[in-house]
């Protein structure tokens, strides 16, 4: 998973985000978006 859009002041992804990204099967494209998980 690339962090090319991550800025210095943003919350970095944690291990659950990488787990989902590495194990999801996206049938309609090559991208998945994790919104709000772990944001406090």
**Per-residue model confidence as pLDDT tens digits over 1-27:** 555 666 667 677 778 878 877 888 767
Q: What is the per-residue pLDDT for 35? A: 75
Q: What is the per-residue pLDDT for 40? A: 55
Q: What is the per-residue pLDDT for 7? A: 63
> Are the C-beta atoms of residues 37 and 24 closer than 8 Å to each other?
no
Q: What is the per-residue pLDDT for 17? A: 77
pTM above 0.85, yes or no: no
Structure tokens at 2: 């690339």
> Are the C-beta atoms of residues 13 and 34 closer than 8 Å to each other?
yes
Can you tell me which residue has the tokens 């309609």?
A: 28
Residue of higher predicted confidence among 37 and 9: 9
């Amino acid at each position: 998973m690339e962090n090319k859009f991550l800025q210095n002041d943003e919350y970095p992804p944690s291990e659950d985000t990488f787990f989902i990204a590495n194990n999801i099967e996206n049938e309609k494209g090559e991208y998945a978006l994790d919104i709000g998980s772990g944001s406090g």
